[in-house]
Amino acid sequence: MKSQYIYPLVLASIASFTAVPVAQADEFSDWLKIDGFGTIGTYKGSSDVAGVRTDQRQRVVSFKDWRFDGDSQASIQATLNPHGKLKAVVQLISKKDINNSNKPTVEWAYVSYPITSEIDVKLGRTVAPIFIMSDYRNLNYAQTMARPQSEIYQVNPITYQDGATARWDKKVGDGMLQAEGFFGKTNVSVAGGDVDLSRVKGVSLKWAQDSWSVRAGYSWYDASVNAPTVEANIKALVSLPAVVCTNCASVIASQASRSNIEAKIATVGATFDNGEWIGQAEWSKRDTNSVVIGSVSGWNVMAGYRYGDFTPYAGLSNFKVDATKTALAPGVAAPAALRAQLNYLNQSYMGTGDPSRDAVTLGVRWDFAKNLALKAQYERMKMKNPAVGASSGFQSYETSLLGKPNGFDGKVSMFTVNLDFVF
Report the distance separating Cα 226 and Cα 354, nearest Å: 19
Per-residue confidence band for 15, with pLDDT thresholds at 50, 70 and 90: very low
Output the CA torsion 5→9→12→14 (10° steps).
-130
State residue 49's pLDDT score: 97
Report the distance separating Cα 23 and Cα 377, nearest Å: 44
Q: Please give the mean pLDDT across all residues of the chain.
A: 90
Q: Running DSSP on this structure, what letter comes out for residue 98?
A: T
Per-residue confidence band for 232, with pLDDT thresholds at 50, 70 and 90: confident
**Mean pLDDT calculated for residue range 296-309:** 97
If one compares 384 and 230, the residue with the highest pLDDT of the two is 384
Q: Where are the alpha helices (DSSP H) in 186-227?
A: none
User: Is residue 172 in some structural domain?
Assistant: yes
User: Is residue 195 in some structural domain?
Assistant: yes
Per-residue confidence band for 229, with pLDDT thresholds at 50, 70 and 90: confident
**Mean pLDDT calculated for residue range 341-367:** 95
Residue 412, beta-bridge partner list: 381
Percent of residues, the chain, with pLDDT higher than 70 = 93
Report the distance separating Cα 95 and Cα 107, nearest Å: 11
Cβ contacts of 307 within 8 Å, gap of 6 or more: none
Per-residue confidence band for 352, with pLDDT thresholds at 50, 70 and 90: confident
User: Is residue 31 in some structural domain?
Assistant: no
Reply yes or no on whether the pLDDT at 6 is more than 60. no
Percent of residues, the chain, with pLDDT higher than 90 = 76
If one compares 9 and 191, the residue with the highest pLDDT of the two is 191
**Mean pLDDT calculated for residue range 233-257:** 91
Q: Running DSSP on this structure, what letter comes out for residue 63?
A: S
State residue 10's pLDDT score: 36
What 3-state DSSP class applies to 329? Answer: coil
User: Is residue 377 in some structural domain?
Assistant: yes
User: What are the CA-CA distances from residue 395 to residues 36, 46, 96, 414 (Å)?
Assistant: 30, 12, 17, 10
If one compares 180 and 234, the residue with the highest pLDDT of the two is 180
39-89 per-position pLDDT tens digit: 999 999 999 999 999 998 888 899 999 999 999 999 999 999 999 999 999
Cβ contacts of 165 within 8 Å, gap of 6 or more: 110, 121, 122, 126, 127, 129, 180, 181, 182
Across 233-242, 290-299, 368-377, 406-415, least confident range? 233-242
Per-residue confidence band for 28, with pLDDT thresholds at 50, 70 and 90: low
User: Is residue 269 in some structural domain?
Assistant: yes
If one compares 276 and 192, the residue with the highest pLDDT of the two is 276
Beta-sheet strands, E only, within 227-356: 261-273, 277-288, 296-305, 310-321
Whole-prediction pTM value? 0.89
User: What are the CA-CA distances from residue 68 to residues 42, 387, 417 (Å)?
Assistant: 4, 29, 10
Q: Where are the alpha helices (DSSP H) in 143-277?
A: 150-153, 228-238, 248-255
State residue 27's pLDDT score: 56
User: Is residue 299 in some structural domain?
Assistant: yes
144-156 per-position pLDDT tens digit: 999 999 999 899 8
Long-range contacts of 271-275 (CB under 8 A, 24+ apart): 271/132, 271/212, 271/213, 272/211, 272/212, 272/213, 273/211, 274/210, 274/211, 275/211, 275/306
**Mean pLDDT calculated for residue range 253-278:** 94
Per-residue confidence band for 233, with pLDDT thresholds at 50, 70 and 90: confident
* Structural domain boundaries enclosing 330: 40-72+112-422
**Mean pLDDT calculated for residue range 197-218:** 94
User: Is residue 284 in some structural domain?
Assistant: yes
Q: How many structural domains is the chain composed of?
A: 1
Report the distance separating Cα 226 and Cα 48, nearest Å: 30
Please report, for the domain that includes residue 304, its CATH number: 2.40.160
If one compares 230 and 274, the residue with the highest pLDDT of the two is 274
User: Is residue 7 in some structural domain?
Assistant: no
**Mean pLDDT calculated for residue range 94-103:** 88
**Mean pLDDT calculated for residue range 328-340:** 95
Report the distance separating Cα 395 and Cα 282, nearest Å: 21
State residue 339's pLDDT score: 95
State residue 20's pLDDT score: 43
85: left (phi over 0), alpha (psi -120 to 50) or beta: alpha
Across 6-20, 108-122, 256-270, least confident range? 6-20
- The 10 Å CB-count burial string (b at 16+, else e) for 203-235 is ebbbeeeeeebbbebebebbbbbebeebbebbe
